[in-house]
C-alpha cells in the first residue's frame, strides 16, 4: 500500500512500521520466472530496485551493505584467493570482493539471471567489475551449487541472499552450512546476511547456532546501518573453520590499497561488538 503514487512504501510485516521513498518515476517492471523486479528513480536515493515489493538496493546506501558483506570476511581470511558469492545478483558484493588483489577467482551464483541483467542496465557502477578476468557469473541455485561443490573449493563464501523465505530459506539452514564447511579450504570463512538485529534477533541466534552445529569453530555477528532495510539496522553473521572470527588482518585492512566509503579497520572491530540484548 502506498501513501500516494509518488511514494514507494515497503511495509515491514508485523512490525507496524515502514519505509517510504519519494519517487520521480517507475522505469522498469517485469515478472521473472522467480520474482517481480521493479526499478524506480527516487528523489533522493537515486535508483531503487525492489524484488517482490521489497527493497534490494538503492544507489545511495548500498555501499554500507556491500562493503560489510565482503571486507570483514576477506580480511579475516589470511589469504583469500577463491571466493564464492551466492545470490548478490546486483553484483555489488562481487565488485567489493574484486577490490582484493589476492583474489584469483570470484564466482557468483545467482538464481535469477534477470536480476543481473536489470542491474547491468540500471546499476552500471555495481556491475563495473563483471568483465574482470577473475569474475565468473553463474545462474543457478546456490543451495545445490554448494552441495555439489568439490571439497576445499573456496577460501570465502558470501551469502548475499534475499530474506529467509521461498528459494532463499535453505540458505539459512544447518544442512547448507555443513555443505559450506565441506566446500571451504582449511582456513575458510563464510558470511551470510542475517537480517535486522532489532526485528529478527531470533533469526540471528538461530543462524549462530546452526553454524556451530554444522561444525564451524567460531561464529560472530557484525552490525551495521542499512537505512532502507527493515528497521534501518542490519547484520551479517560470519563463521570460520579454524581460529577466531575476532582475529582479522587489521594492519592489512588499515593499509588497504583500495577505496571504501564505510568499511575500515576501526569499523570492522566496532561492528563485532555485541549489544547487551544480543549477548
The contact set with ligand AAT (CB under 6 A) reads: 34, 51, 54, 56-57, 86-90, 92-93, 109-112, 115, 141-143, 160-163, 167-168, 171, 193, 229
DSSP label of 274: P
Q: How far is CA 113 from the centre of its chain?
A: 17
Straight-line distance from the first to the last Cα atom of the chain, in angstroms, rounded to the nearest whole number:
36
- The 3-state DSSP class for residue 66 equals helix
User: Using CA atoms, how far apart are residues 243 and 227, in angstroms rounded to an integer?
Assistant: 33
> Which cell goes with 90?
546486483
Based on the residue annotation, tell me whether 160 is a catalytic residue of this protein: yes
174 carries a ligand binding annotation:
no
Question: Which one of the listed residues 112, 155, 160, 218 is annotated catalytic?
Answer: 160
- Which residues are bridge partners to 221 per DSSP? 237
Phi/psi for 230 (5° steps) reads -45, 125
Closer of 218 and 234 to ligand AAT (Cβ)? 234
47 carries a ligand binding annotation:
no
Closer of 194 and 249 to ligand AAT (Cβ)? 194
Phi/psi for 186 (5° steps) reads -55, -35
- Identify which of 180, 186, 153, 185 has the alpha carbon closest to the alpha carbon of residue 237: 180
208 carries a ligand binding annotation:
no
Shortest distance, position 18 Cβ to ligand AAT, whole Å? 13
Closer of 110 and 218 to ligand AAT (Cβ)? 110
Tell me which residue has its CB nearest to ligand AAT: 87
Shortest distance, position 15 Cβ to ligand AAT, whole Å? 12
- Residues making up the chain, counted from first to last: 279
* Binding-site positions for spermidine: 66, 90, 160-163
* Binding-site positions: 35, 66, 90, 110, 141-142, 160-163, 167
* Binding-site positions for S-methyl-5'-thioadenosine: 35, 110, 141-142, 167
Amino acid at each position: 500500500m502506498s501513501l500516494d503514487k509518488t511514494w514507494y512504501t515497503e511495509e515491514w510485516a508485523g512490525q507496524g512500521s515502514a519505509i517510504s521513498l519519494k519517487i520521480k518515476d517507475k522505469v522498469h517492471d517485469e515478472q521473472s520466472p522467480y520474482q517481480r523486479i521493479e526499478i524506480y528513480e527516487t528523489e533522493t536515493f537515486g535508483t531503487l530496485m525492489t524484488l517482490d515489493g521489497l527493497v534490494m538496493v538503492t544507489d545511495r546506501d548500498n555501499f554500507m551493505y556491500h562493503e560489510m558483506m565482503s571486507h570483514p570476511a576477506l580480511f579475516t581470511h589470511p589469504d583469500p584467493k577463491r571466493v564464492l558469492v551466492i545470490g548478490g545478483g546486483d553484483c555489488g558484493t562481487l565488485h567489493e570482493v574484486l577490490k582484493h588483489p589476492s583474489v584469483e577467482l570470484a564466482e557468483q551464483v545467482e538464481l535469477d539471471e534477470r536480476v543481473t541483467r536489470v542491474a547491468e542496465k540500471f546499476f552500471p557502477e555495481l556491475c563495473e567489475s563483471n568483465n574482470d578476468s577473475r569474475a565468473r557469473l553463474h545462474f543457478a541455485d546456490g543451495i545445490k551449487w554448494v552441495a555439489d561443490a568439490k571439497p576445499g573449493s573456496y577460501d570465502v563464501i558470501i551469502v548475499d541472499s534475499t530474506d529467509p523465505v521461498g528459494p532463499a530459506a535453505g540458505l539459512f539452514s544447518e544442512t547448507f552450512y555443513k555443505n559450506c564447511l565441506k566446500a571451504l579450504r582449511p582456513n575458510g570463512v563464510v558470511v551470510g546476511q542475517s537480517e535486522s538485529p532489532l526485528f529478527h534477533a531470533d533469526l540471528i541466534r538461530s543462524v549462530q547456532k546452526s553454524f556451530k552445529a554444522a561444525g564451524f569453530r567460531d561464529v560472530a555477528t557484525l552490525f551495521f546501518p542499512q537505512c532502507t532495510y527493515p528497521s534501518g539496522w542490519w547484520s551479517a553473521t560470519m563463521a570460520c573453520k579454524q581460529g577466531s572470527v575476532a582475529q582479522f588482518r587489521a594492519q592489512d585492512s588499515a593499509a588497504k590499497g583500495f577505496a571504501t566509503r564505510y568499511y575500515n579497520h576501526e569499523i570492522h572491530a566496532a561492528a563485532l561488538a555485541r549489544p547487551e540484548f544480543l549477548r
